[in-house]
Structure 1
Amino acid sequence: MTSSLNGKIALVTGASRGLGRAVALELALAGAFVICTARSVRGQSTQAQLPDTTIDDTLDALQAAGGQGQAVRCDHSDPSQVEALMLNIREKHGRLDILVNNAWGGHDVVRNPTQPSEVWDEPLEQLRGMLLGGAYSDYVTSLLALKHLMGHAHSGIILNTTWHTDEPPAWLPYEVSKAAKNRLVYALGHHLQQRDIPVIGVAPGWMRTELMLTHHTPEELACQTETPHYAARGIVALAADPQARRFSGKVMDVSELADLYGFTDLDGSQPQWFRAHQASRRGRS
């Protein structure tokens, strides 16, 4: 276990599975005490078809790897729950050094795995769910963390997981919701310039998460996909970088971070999924 983040207090939202779980594990391996939050707890999972994907399972894996942390159930779209969480962190730890906004409930209202043929056939609540589960959750969590733990101390870093907005645009509500997340990174970073608290977006490529593995064939997954640990290692590198402020307000692609910091995916590779994807889309347009 390395100790680049030894003694740091980190909060990872949406840590029950996928990228959130990988971030929690990688931060713990780097020496941080990791507070894992999500709606899914043992016996009450939001994805009951996926076994062992709760914050309790994440904490078990984290501790088995030699890390330290705790699991706290929290719906980050509910300000009262988030405020209670921040007050609890303040009481127990006195500070928060690293906030990773990764909670995402945006697919909860998807009616089927295929997109409608016409944009007007989209369920009208789809965008609402994505905004609440994405940008709004990030907004609530960031502001309450700043109010109770980070803002007055002029310290810490906020890292928001996100996605690149495609050119040409892809799924309408998804594109709009991710654009809102990305604009939040830019705007909040601007407003925190004088407080030395960087706000950075991290955009992974196509990740082999538990949920994605249930929706795609091995053939589809063979093309430039990556594990969630690839992006998680980029987040750890940013959290440990004393010069991370130079990226505040920006959305960084994981492959950019891999070039900069030299980390790899679990298999030693450095996938360039987004760059290849964009080149392919431009070639077809």
Structure 2
Amino acid sequence: MYTPLTGQVALVTGASRGLGRAAALEFAAAGAYVIVTARSTRGHSTQATLPQTSVDDTLDALRAAGGRGEAHACDHTDAAQVEQLMLALRARHGRLDVLVNNAWGGHDPVNEGARGREVWEEPPEQLRNMLLGGAYSDHLTTLLALRHFEGAVGRVLCTTWHTEEPPGWLPYEVSKAAKNRFVYVLGHKLRGRAISVIGVAPGWMRTELMETHHTPEELAGQTETPHYAARGLVALAADPDALQHSGRVLDVGELADLYGITDLDGSQPQWWRRSRKGGT
């Protein structure tokens, strides 16, 4: 088995389900020691309407597949919790080779179904929660990781979304634009330290959330499993020349072209590439 990340330490946030869980499993399969975090712990889920998976379940699955790692409960919008996490990791490991910023709280149950038919009907707190659970979470976690590991983090990978043309849901688009600008600016600031900061934009993933809110007919066609983007994250982490992509947001289809990654069924979905035909 090819394990290009053997000996490396990777932190994957938001790893209780979806892309975070898939990333944890794929990084472990590539040989990394994987630290997984999430707010949802066994018996205490933040998403009551979704399957009750937790960060503890992810660790169990990772170990059952032969991987190595550990799990921590952490709300990545809480500076004190992130600070304690970084102190614990520095004391135990002394290094952090890869940080995968995947934590997301923008679809917490309190906001479900709150979309307005007109933009002025949107709940004002929707954007606040999406910014906190997205760009702010990435910002806080990355800065504290760099501080406690003295800037010696080799890769910062942020899961995100390409903003659409024509644009979609207002608060979602604005929150993802903030994440994408974070990748661009931080990549510029850290280039001199040879630290890659790269965004990865999946296509239409068949996550637990998507399967709850969409019919099988809506999900048919060019959808993908979370493992497709997760394998792209691993490929970037293992690429010695990844610095050339720093500051950019790469679609998972671009990563398939670059690295030859495939989804679990061997396919290479190009959902985003098809969806933006006719856009700018």
TM over 0.5: yes
Deviation at 1:47, TM superposition (A): 1.2
Partner of 2:93 in structure 1?
93
Equivalent position to 1:216, from 214, 217, 224: 214
Worse-superposed segment, 41-50 or 19-28: 41-50
Partner of 2:9 in structure 1?
9
Distance (Å, rounded) in 2 between the aligned partners of 1:259 and 1:229: 16
- Partner-residue secondary structure (3-state), 1:181: helix
Residue pairs, 1:191-202, within 5 angstroms: 191-202=189-200
Partner of 2:30 in structure 1?
30
Partner of 2:177 in structure 1?
179
Deviation at 1:114, TM superposition (A): 6.8
Worse-superposed segment, 157-166 or 46-55: 46-55
Partner deviation per Cα, 1:36-81 (whole Å, 9 max, x = no partner): 0000000101013333410001001100110011110000000110
Deviation at 1:150, TM superposition (A): 4.8
Q: Is the 8 A contact 2:17 2:54 kept in 1?
A: yes
Q: Is the 8 A contact 1:109 1:129 kept in 2?
A: no
Partner deviation per Cα, 1:5-36 (whole Å, 9 max, x = no partner): 00100000000000000000000000000000
Distance (Å, rounded) in 2 between the aligned partners of 1:258 and 1:215: 27
Partner of 1:271 in structure 2?
269
Partner of 1:260 in structure 2?
258
- In structure 2, relative to structure 1, the CA distance for the partners of 1:150 and 1:197 (3 Å cut) is farther
Deviation at 1:107, TM superposition (A): 1.2
Distance (Å, rounded) in 1 between the aligned partners of 2:216 and 2:113: 17
Equivalent position to 1:165, from 160, 163, 166: 163
Normalising by structure 1, report the TM-score.
Answer: 0.95
Partner of 2:81 in structure 1?
81
Distance (Å, rounded) in 1 between the aligned partners of 2:109 and 2:168: 18
Q: Which amino acid aligns with 2:256?
A: A
- In structure 2, relative to structure 1, the CA distance for the partners of 1:172 and 1:135 (3 Å cut) is same
Q: Is the 8 A contact 1:229 1:265 kept in 2?
A: yes
Partner deviation per Cα, 1:182-231 (whole Å, 9 max, x = no partner): 00000001110111101000000000001111111111111200000000
Worse-superposed segment, 74-83 or 113-122: 113-122
Partner of 2:243 in structure 1?
245
Unaligned stretches of 5+ residues in structure 2: none
Count of aligned pairs between the two proteins: 280
Deviation at 1:117, TM superposition (A): 1.3
Calculate the aligned-residue CA RMSD, in Å: 1.4
Normalising by structure 2, report the TM-score.
Answer: 0.97
1:42 aligns with 2:77: no
Q: Which amino acid aligns with 1:166?
A: E
- Partner-residue secondary structure (3-state), 1:200: strand
- Identity of aligned pairs, percent? 71
Q: Is the 8 A contact 1:109 1:126 kept in 2?
A: no
Unaligned stretches of 5+ residues in structure 1: none
